Structure 1
Amino acid sequence: MKFDLHTHHFRCGHADGTIRDYIEAGISAGLGVIGISDHTPYFGSPSEQAFPLIAMSKSELSNYVEEVLSLKKEYEGVIDVLLGIESDFFPEHAELYRKTLSAYPFDYVIGSVHSVGGVSIFNKRRWKGLSKNEQIRVKSDYYRLIADSARSGMFQILGHIDAMKGNYPAFSEIPAPKPMDDCLQVISECGVAIEINTSGGTKLVGGWYPSEDILERANHFGVEVTFGSDAHKPSRVAEDRDAVAAQLKAIGFTHWVYYKQREKIKVSL
């Protein structure tokens, strides 16, 4: 069973295409399962749409859910359309996010840390002038937040767990092995999967998230994995999926997983 659990569409303000476009792209790519997982609104903000070029408005969430469920019925027997969503993890707003998302029948929720200390992980300027110790502190804080997101119980999948390297490739060279290993151990203990996300090629770093060395450590700790292209245009659906599967097998993984009605489904590699 071929699947891709991480796709976006026009509602988030920085992706192209409709939900139907991504479903059709999934069919063309030979997928049996396509997950739709656009960005949650910023529930913690008083604004209806705090960041129009980052996430959908609050009022669009119900329309999004209704459209995915309608298309799920329409494409039944052709491709399994799953209702997912990608949620930010803000500890101070976690309960609001939990309560809001629990009102909808999501098959899975991807939890992604997109900011640390109130600054986007993709902001290249955040690293300017930082000492080595300050860089280590930022990287450590990033992995502590990811570990906390796993502990929250809100998510089935954790998104792009080294995406902080996206626009700052030197991130990978910042020495902070203990916070990363502690994070992977927590993820394993909590039974949450991490995605292999192939959208790194759209950033300065290129390649995938996470790096091969992190995947090797994840396998050591017994962390389960899934696949998501993080496509923001239909042509990227299932991008590099077969190459990812081959790399996972070479590392020692025997299966990966996807989620339907919050239940884990294992698929042999």
Structure 2
Amino acid sequence: MKFDLHTHHFRCGHADGTIEDYIVAAMNAGLQVIGISDHSPYFYHEQDQPSPGVAMARSDFSNYVNEVLRLKEKYEGKIEVLLGIESDYFPDYVEAYREAYKGIPFDYLIGSVHQVGGVSIFNRNRWKKLDEKGHINEKKSYYQLIEQSARAGMFDILGHIDAMKGYYPAFSDIPAHEHIDNALRTIGECGVSIEINTSGSTKDVGGWYPSDDILERALHFGVNVTFGSDAHVPSRVGDEWDLVAKRLKEIGFSQWVFYRKRQPVIVPL
């Protein structure tokens, strides 16, 4: 069974295509399950859409949910459409997000750390004036936030847990094994999954998130894994699914999961 739980569309302001475009692309790619998971609004902010090129407007959130639910019905029997969202994790605003999600029939929530210290994880400039200790502290802060997001009790999946390397490949070489292990141990204990996200192939780093090294340690800590292309164009739906499945088996995984009604569905590898 082929599935992809991480896709975006025009509402976030930096992806192309409609939700239906991604569903059709999934069917054409031979998927049986497609998850829709556009970027959550900034629910804590006083403005409706403070970052139009980053996340959807709060006033458009109900339209997003209703459209996915409508398409879920339309395509029933052809492909399973799942309602998800990629939710920012801001520790100071957890309750604002928790309140916004109440009563919505999500199949899953992806929790992603997109900012550390108020700066995007994809900002190349953050690294330029830092010494070795500063590099280590940045990476430590990133994994501490990921660990906190696992403990928040909001998320089924944690998104792209080493994506800070996207435009700074040297990130992977910054020593922080203890902090990565602490995060993975917590993720395993909390029963949260991590995604193998193939969008790294569209960034400077190439490949996918997380690295094989982190996946090997995730297996050690009993962490479940799932798949997300993080497609921002329909043509990337399911991108490298077969390669990821093959690599996971080589690492030692025997299964992965997707989510339906907030419950994991086990898929043998």
What is the CA distance between 1:17 and its match in structure 2?
0.3
2: CA distance, partners of 1:117 / 1:233: 29
Match runs of 1:7-86 below 5 Å: 7-86=7-86
Give per-residue Cα distances to partners, 1:118-176, cap 9 Å, x unaligned: 00000000001101011101100100000000000100000000000000000000001
- Which deviations, in whole Å up to 9, do the C-alpha atoms of 1:19-77 show, x marking residues without a partner? 00000000001111000000000011111101000000001000000000000000000
The one-letter code of the counterpart of 1:144 is Q
The answer for the alignment partner of 2:208 in structure 1 is 208
How far apart, CA to CA, are the structure 2 residues paired with 1:20 and 1:222? Answer: 35
Instruction: Note the C-alpha offset of 1:230.
Output: 0.2
Q: Which residue of 2 aligns with 1:255?
A: 255
Partner secondary structure for residue 104 of structure 1 = coil
Moved more, 99-108 or 153-162: 99-108
Cα deviation for residue 103 of structure 1 reads 2.9
* One-letter code aligned to 1:98: R
Q: Report the 3-state secondary structure (helix = DSSP H, G, I; strand = E; otherwise coil) of the residue aligned with 1:196.
A: strand
* Structure 2 residue ranges without an equivalent (≥5): none
1:90 and 2:90 aligned: yes
Distance 1:7 1:103 in 2: 22
Q: Which residue of 1 aligns with 2:4?
A: 4
Kindly indicate whether residue 121 of structure 2 is the aligned counterpart of residue 121 of structure 1: yes
In structure 1, how many angstroms separate the alpha carbons of the residues matched to 2:33 and 2:95? 30
| Structure 1 residue identity aligned to 2:116 | V
Q: Distance in 2 between matches of 1:266 and 1:161?
A: 21
- Within 1, Cα distance between the matches of 2:148 and 2:136? 18
Aligned to 1:228: 228
Aligned to 1:142: 142
* Cross-structure match for 2:245: 245
TM-score (norm 1): 0.99
Distance 2:8 2:148 in 1: 25
Letter in 1 for 2:139: K
Task: Give the CA deviation at 1:99.
Answer: 1.1
Look up the SS of the partner of 1:264 in the other structure. Answer: strand
1:215-259: per-residue Cα shift (whole Å, max 9, x none)?
001011110000000000000000000000000000000000000
For the residues of structure 1 that align with 2:166 and 2:47, how far apart are their CA atoms?
Answer: 28
Deviation at 1:184, TM superposition (A): 0.3
Q: Using the alignment, how far apart are the partners of 1:179 and 1:102 within structure 2?
A: 32
Aligned counterparts of 1:74 and 1:48: Cα–Cα separation in 2: 30
Aligned to 1:152: 152
Please state if 1:101 is matched with 2:101.
Answer: yes
- Equivalent residue letter for 1:110: I
Residue in 1 that maps onto 2:112: 112
Q: Percent identity?
A: 66
Q: TM-score w.r.t. structure 2 length?
A: 0.99
Q: Which amino acid aligns with 2:151?
A: R
Q: Which amino acid aligns with 1:126?
A: R
> How far apart are the structure 1 equivalents of 2:207 and 2:62?
34
Q: Which position in structure 1 is the counterpart of 2:188?
A: 188
Which whole-Å CA distance do the structure 2 matches of 1:150 and 1:75 have between them?
32
Give, as a single letter, the amino acid of the residue that structure 2 aligns with 1:146: I
Distance 1:232 1:107 in 2: 20
- Structure 1 consecutive aligned stretches of length 4 or more whose deviation exceeds 4 Å: none
- Give the superposed CA RMSD: 0.5
Equivalent position SS for 2:34? strand
Deviations 1:89-130 (A, max 9, x none): 000000110111123111000000000000000000000110
